[in-house]
Amino acid sequence: MSSPAVSVSDLLVRFGDHRVLDGITFEAQGGDFVAIVGPNGAGKTTLMKVLLGLDVPENGIARIFGQHPQQVDPGIVGYVPQIKTLDRSFPALAIELVVSGLYEHWPFRISQEERELAIDALEHVHAEKLADRSLSALSGGELQRVYLARSLIRTPRVIILDEPATGVDVVGATDLYELLDNYQEEHQATVLMVTHDWNAAFHHATHVLLLDGRQVAYGPPEAALKEECLREAFGHIGHAHAMMIGDRHE
């Protein structure tokens, strides 16, 4: 496909009189890893919902490979929500959650073919041993791996993640980012990740979209996460200079 993997132009989303997003414009190509960063209320999750076809903008366009998000083949886009949205008491197995990524409903029974696809997806995230474990018995890091397997079961070309490291310890978050890096490189997939982790954005992303209701910056991490940009978005940067220590992921 010649169209960008993700393209957004002059996007405006308003809830009542409040402009949640205003004038957002960027493109992401195959193989790009875009970290979406900004303070609480900056419109990050709203942008994800627009790209998933769940929210409709008042103005502007959002396209996935040139198509309206609501018209895109579901197999092209994988989505990983925040794990805190799941009711951990829900009586289900990890493999059922993974298989649900094939459909828009929960599987009532799993065929052998579906099980093989789910096990393969779990193997990609080094979590095949979790297949028959109850969701309630999984740690935060294990559950996030299962969610990632769910998003990968149809080998998507675009992966959208909303705060994937929420509730995950440092080791689990590092593993998650490495898995994303590996999948992205293997399939030339495009990753869009909402995150509060500036360090992860700096070291793993090829591009950073810095939001504060409007677009503060979009570009390579070293440009978009400059001190003046962070101050414009957040008002302060605290100890953000620490993220510049060490080598960026290549």
Q: What is the mean pLDDT of the chain?
A: 89
Taking residue 77's Cβ as centre, other Cβ atoms within 10 Å add up to 24
- Lowest pLDDT segment from 26-35, 101-110, 234-243: 234-243
**Which band of pLDDT confidence, cut at 50, 70 and 90, is reported for residue 238?**
low
Q: What angle do CA 48, 50, 53 make, to 5 degrees?
A: 110
Is residue 249 included in any domain, yes or no? no
160-212 confidence digits (pLDDT tens)? 999 888 777 888 888 888 989 999 989 999 999 999 888 899 999 999 999 99
Is residue 20 included in any domain, yes or no? yes
pLDDT at 91: 83
**Whole-number Å distance between alpha carbons of 240 and 238:** 6
Higher model confidence: residue 88 or residue 216? Answer: 216
- Lowest pLDDT segment from 16-20, 117-121, 219-223: 16-20
Does residue 240 surpass a pLDDT of 90? no
Is residue 250 included in any domain, yes or no? no
Determine the angle formed by the axes of helices 140-152 and 112-124, rounding to 10 degrees.
120
76-135 confidence digits (pLDDT tens)? 999 998 865 667 677 889 999 999 999 878 888 899 999 999 999 999 999 999 999 999
Is residue 107 included in any domain, yes or no? yes
Amino acid at 6: V
- Looking from the CA of 202 toward its CB, the CA atoms found within 13 Å total 18
| CATH number of 132's domain | 3.40.50.300
Is residue 143 included in any domain, yes or no? yes
Is residue 140 included in any domain, yes or no? yes
Cα→Cα distances 97→57, 110, 132, Å: 30, 11, 11
- Lowest pLDDT segment from 103-107, 169-173, 216-220, 237-241: 237-241
Determine if residue 154 is left, alpha or beta; phi over 0 gives left, psi from -120 to 50 gives alpha, anything else beta: alpha
pLDDT at 84: 59
pLDDT at 167: 73
- Lowest pLDDT segment from 35-39, 64-68, 233-237: 233-237
Partners of 191 in the β-ladder: 33, 159
pLDDT at 220: 97
SS3 of the chain: CCCCCEEEEEEEEEECCEEEEEEEEEEECCCCEEEEECCCCCCHHHHHHHHCCCCCCCEEEEEECCECHHHCCHHHEEEECCHHHCCCCCCCEHHHHHHHHHCCCCCCCCCHHHHHHHHHHHHHCCCHHHCCCEHHHCCHHHHHHHHHHHHHCCCCCEEEEECCCCCCCHHHHHHHHHHHHHHHHHHCCEEEEECCCHHHHHHHCCEEEEECCEEEEEECHHHHCCHHHHHHHHCCCCCHHHHHCCCCCC
**Which band of pLDDT confidence, cut at 50, 70 and 90, is reported for residue 1?**
very low
Is residue 181 included in any domain, yes or no? yes
Q: Residue 146's domain spans which residues? A: 6-244
Is residue 1 included in any domain, yes or no? no
The domain tally of the chain equals 1
222-233 confidence digits (pLDDT tens)? 999 999 999 999
Percentage of the chain with pLDDT > 90? 68
